[in-house]
Amino acid sequence: MQTADSAFQTTLKLLLDERTDDGHFVGELSSSALSTATAVSALSFYLKRKTLAADQRSAIEQKVAASIAWMLNQQNDDGGWGDTDKNYSNISTTMLVEAAFEAADLTSDHLPAIEEARQYIFAQGGIEGLRDRYGKDKTFAVPILANCAMAGIVPWHEVSALPFEAACVPQRFYNLMQLPVVSYAIPALVAIGQCKFINDPPWDPVRKTIRSLAVGRSLNVLEKMQPESGGYLEAIPLTSFVAMALIESGRCDCSVVENSIRFLLESVRHDAESCCWPIDTNLATWGTTLAINGIANDRETFSQLVLDEPKNWRQCIEWVLSCQNQEVHPFTGAAPGGWGWTDLSGAVPDADDTPGALIALKHVYDLIRSAEFQSALPEATRDDFGEALEQQIRSAADVGLKWLVDLQNCDRGWPTFCRGWGKLPFDRSGADLTAHAIRAINAWQRTSVESLSARRIGNAIENGFAYLRQKQHSEGYWLPLWFGNQDFPDDINPCYGTAKVLQAFIDCKLLDTRPAQNGLKWLVNHQNDDGGFGGGPSVQWKNVSLGSSTVEETALCAEALMGSEDALHQDAARRAVDWLDQAVMSDSIATFNPIGFYFAKLWYHEKLYPLVFSIAALARQKSGMSNATRARGKPATTNTV
């Protein structure tokens, strides 16, 4: 068995090798059959309606053909498609792939594959099966059906009308209107709503008149919300739906379509034989802050890394600071102060990336204020980590904390983007978001925050824990909003949710409370026989015996269990770390699995997740070992927690 420190160092090197030249982390989202299908549909409709120069047309046609080839290679044995290469088939992706084939006029060339897809769709219940998957939430069901209607495989009367005229109301009133889509889907509401209206207008003359008058004004809303990159939320499916809907509404030449097509062509992944798209451009801010926070679990390692490469880490810190939103955001109307998931223009500030950035900046702030660190800094770099940077971080944190506290919902939890949108799943408060917000506020509350009173900070934390107590399931677990497990009933991921919530109890020294103890008990009782956590039958390991657990879930649960001094919890943590050690020894620690949910329950996996989650657990272990070593005066050579 290799030593714990060896596993840590190996994982750390793998993670640091993922850095860019200026010190931050970009990662890599999985290629997505769903994203590729929507992009192919949008480009195909564009080719049919747009007059293009011969070379432009040829270039796009080649991408469409190569994308079709890529999708054919992704078809599962049951005839359907999953969101990623590691996902089970689902009706949403399969219907979108069929629509893409129809839009590209290539179905006759690939009849066997399409026939298998149609059989899969029929077995899943067809249109009603799709609606059942999303329930009352029309955010994704309506665009899918509209895409199919544009391709001619679903009649327009099966596509629900969307009240696109609502976008003409001032943004601050959106949350009061009980819209049938989530807050981040206003562009789809407008574009798909207009396409339905034009292709299948209502019989009601009053409604018809109102919507006719709203077409131009709502299109102006789309223009104002579109970022510089052209990609709404940097999301390929959302941008594709907007583009194809406007194209099929007779607006092929409008600026929104041109910018959307530019975004799709710039974000494609391609090689000599195939093309495909990820679900989003990247999660660079999220990945970078996860990396910083994971490494900083061992303060000595973090300090030494900064001392060894001060230029790189100064650039990384500046990069994180530069990602903070500095103005009222055109997409959600959010005030300045929050962070989104990427530095790209399509990002929107949210309640998961903002806490991640705030916690990372607190690690840096504490480090540069350390006399030991300052004395070890080379003379030439002391100004780079002096009072100017300290003040810069304090100012960013002050605005960020106010933004975060102001976002807290009336139910005392935190939503993702917008306060007060509580009707649909991805707009509601979430346990994982709330726990992350609590951790960020707690990290900074002992440092003077000019924009918030101590009482308000204390109330925000207290109310957040009240929400977490309320949302804990009777068995002891919590569920996250943005992460899932395809092998669990209803795609839930209690391992991720419970591990993330327990971190808030650990940080606030509340691990001896009943909710925390029940959460820890649930984790111990649901540890896999192989010592890891999560996963299931879909997890496949190549040439190694690691059971059915995943690196991501095992690392998260191990880190949470290490926060307890109870012998039972320590033993469970040791078994989980032993599993991670085996993953390192077998060169499998970087193996990723689809645990991420994107908008509307779309699966993805991220290259950085196994590394950033593992480094957090292994650094926590190393820090504990170092403390124990100092107390005993013995070298840390055994694999203890």
pLDDT score recorded for residue 178: 66
| DSSP assigned state of 410 | T
pLDDT score recorded for residue 137: 81
Single-letter amino acid, residue 567? A
pLDDT score recorded for residue 111: 82
How many helices (H) does the chain have, and how many strands (E)? 24, 5
pLDDT score recorded for residue 632: 43
In this structure, the answer to whether residues 533 and 609 fall within a common structural domain is: yes
Q: Is residue 631 very low, low, confident or very high in pLDDT (cuts 50, 70, 90)?
A: very low
In this structure, the answer to whether residues 8 and 97 fall within a common structural domain is: no
pLDDT score recorded for residue 634: 42
In this structure, the answer to whether residues 315 and 359 fall within a common structural domain is: yes
pLDDT score recorded for residue 165: 82
Which residue, 563, 564, 561, 541, is CA-closest to 551?
541
Question: In this predicted model, what pLDDT tens digit does every residue of 527-580 receive, in sequence order?
Answer: 999 999 999 999 999 878 899 999 999 999 999 999 999 999 999 999 999 999
In this structure, the answer to whether residues 128 and 82 fall within a common structural domain is: yes
Tell me the CA distances in angstroms from 452 to 302, 390, 403, 524, one per residue in order: 30, 19, 10, 39
**Cβ contacts of 486-491, under 8 Å, gap ≥ 24:** 486/87, 486/88, 486/536, 486/538, 486/594, 486/603, 487/535, 487/536, 487/537, 487/538, 487/539, 487/548, 488/536, 491/597, 491/601
Whichever domain contains 305, its CATH number is 1.50.10.20
pLDDT score recorded for residue 505: 98
- As a whole number of angstroms, the longest Cα–Cα distance in the chain is 85
Residue 637 has pLDDT above 60, yes or no: no
Q: Is residue 231 included in any domain, yes or no?
A: yes
Q: Is residue 556 included in any domain, yes or no?
A: yes
**Domain end marker among 224, 248, 277:** 277
In this structure, the answer to whether residues 255 and 307 fall within a common structural domain is: no
**CA–CA separation, 66 vs 83, rounded Å?**
18
Q: Is residue 322 included in any domain, yes or no?
A: yes
558 touches 580 (CB < 8 A): yes
In this structure, the answer to whether residues 13 and 144 fall within a common structural domain is: no
603 touches 87 (CB < 8 A): yes
In this structure, the answer to whether residues 461 and 422 fall within a common structural domain is: yes
Question: In this predicted model, what pLDDT tens digit does every residue of 180-220 receive, in sequence order?
Answer: 666 778 899 899 999 999 999 888 888 788 888 888 888 99
Total number of domains constituting the chain: 3
Residue 439 has pLDDT above 80, yes or no: yes
Question: In this predicted model, what pLDDT tens digit does every residue of 60-82 receive, in sequence order?
Answer: 999 999 999 999 999 999 999 99
State the average pLDDT for the chain.
91
pLDDT score recorded for residue 209: 85
pLDDT score recorded for residue 232: 96
Q: Which domain holds residue 202?
A: 33-277
Q: Is residue 627 very low, low, confident or very high in pLDDT (cuts 50, 70, 90)?
A: low
Which residue, 369, 370, 332, is CA-closest to 354?
332
Q: Is residue 503 included in any domain, yes or no?
A: no
Total-model pTM? 0.94
Q: Which two tokens stand for residue 282?
A: 């990247």
pLDDT score recorded for residue 179: 67
In this structure, the answer to whether residues 449 and 488 fall within a common structural domain is: no
Q: Is residue 229 included in any domain, yes or no?
A: yes
Of 106 and 248, the structure prediction assigns the larger pLDDT to 248
**Bridging pattern class, strands 602-604 and 596-598:** antiparallel
Residue 638 has pLDDT above 50, yes or no: no
Q: Is residue 500 included in any domain, yes or no?
A: no
Q: Is residue 502 included in any domain, yes or no?
A: no
Residue 636 has pLDDT above 60, yes or no: no
User: In the predicted model, what is the mean pLDDT of residues 429-441?
Assistant: 97
In this structure, the answer to whether residues 233 and 125 fall within a common structural domain is: yes
Question: In this predicted model, what pLDDT tens digit does every residue of 228-269 receive, in sequence order?
Answer: 999 999 999 999 999 999 999 999 999 999 999 999 999 999
User: In the predicted model, what is the mean pLDDT of residues 346-366?
Assistant: 97
Q: Is residue 639 very low, low, confident or very high in pLDDT (cuts 50, 70, 90)?
A: very low
pLDDT score recorded for residue 177: 60
In this structure, the answer to whether residues 520 and 490 fall within a common structural domain is: yes
Q: Is residue 86 very low, low, confident or very high in pLDDT (cuts 50, 70, 90)?
A: very high
Q: Is residue 158 included in any domain, yes or no?
A: yes
Question: In this predicted model, what pLDDT tens digit does every residue of 368-422 receive, in sequence order?
Answer: 999 999 999 988 888 889 999 999 999 999 999 999 999 999 999 999 998 887 6
